[in-house]
Amino acid sequence: MNSTAKRGLCLAAPAVLGFLIFYVLPMGVTLWKSVSFGGRFVGLENYRITFENHMFWLAVGNTLRFLVVALPLILVAALALALLLAESFPGNRFFRLILLYPILVPVAATVMVVQIFLGTRGVLNTFLVQWGLPRQEWIYSSWAFLILVLLYLWKNTGYGVILLLTGLAMIPKEYMEMARIDGAGRWKYLFYIRLPLLRPMLLFTSLISLLNAFKCFREAILIGGNYPHESIYMLQHYLTNNFNNMNYMKISVASTLLFLTILIAAGIVGRHFFLGEGGKRRNEKKKSSVRLH
């Protein structure tokens, strides 16, 4: 091993050791605890006990429902805003800066504003009382799910717009000029040129949005606490409550399942992102070579 390789290993050693100690080792301990009890291997018994728990399935159902509703909404909103801001018009830069503002606002401040407006004695309920209408428990009712989705969109849409604007900027302007020469309108240019070329960035934005969706637990726990309305009782609530009860077996099982779910989703998105059109071209070359032989 030459001196350059040794220096490279020395520089990489702190990062590699930190990854092994703070990520790989805890994950290994979690996997062992998910299949053991009192230091004894019990196979899938812990999983069976967890699957029989009603609160676990409530948390899983709410988490999946949140992902199914929030992810398509944020992708559509981010794409629409990115296409709009990709055009030149007065105030374009100002609107781009506005989209970045929610990223900078602390979660606690955002939740405080929600409490001020939607709390039991908040601004909205004050108006309802003045109009002779009964108070509404916006945060501790089925409305909580809609509030959480809106908070997620408000907080993370701007980041998705920036990513998609970067992808749109990478599309050569000559393509649009050629499309106009061939008689293609805006919609054909969008569906046949822009969106296909933007697909890798759309997939990357989907992956980032998926990861940010799991971070939305911060808003959920600050709004409703450890035991919020059942519509926003997420997997992270289940993990936190079992941690407070020192039920490490259920924590380990739920953490392992959550990790595998994110890993599979990221793997599916990453496969399309890294292969992209190059993978298709390689497959076409293989097929053509087979035909020639």
| Tens digits of residue pLDDT in 11-69 | 888 888 988 888 889 888 888 888 888 788 888 888 888 888 888 899 889 988 998 99
Mean pLDDT of the chain, nearest integer: 82
Asked: is 54-275 a CATH 1.10.3720.10 domain? The reply is yes
The answer, yes or no, to whether residue 4 has pLDDT greater than 60, is yes
The whole-angstrom separation of Cα 64 and Cα 26 is 26
Measure Cα distances from 52 to 15, 40, 89, 226 in Å: 40, 21, 57, 21
Domain coordinates of the chain in residue numbers? 54-275
pLDDT of residue 272: 63
43: Cβ contacts below 8 Å, ≥ 6 apart = 35
Q: What is the pTM of this model?
A: 0.78
Nearest residue to 33 via CA among 256, 243, 262: 256
How many residues in total does the chain contain?
Answer: 293
Nearest residue to 252 via CA among 20, 17, 49, 18: 49
pLDDT of residue 34: 87
In the DSSP assignment, the letter for residue 37 is E
The torsion angle over the Cα atoms of residues 6, 12, 17 and 22, rounded to 10 degrees, is 180
pLDDT of residue 237: 85
Nearest residue to 135 via CA among 146, 145, 123: 123
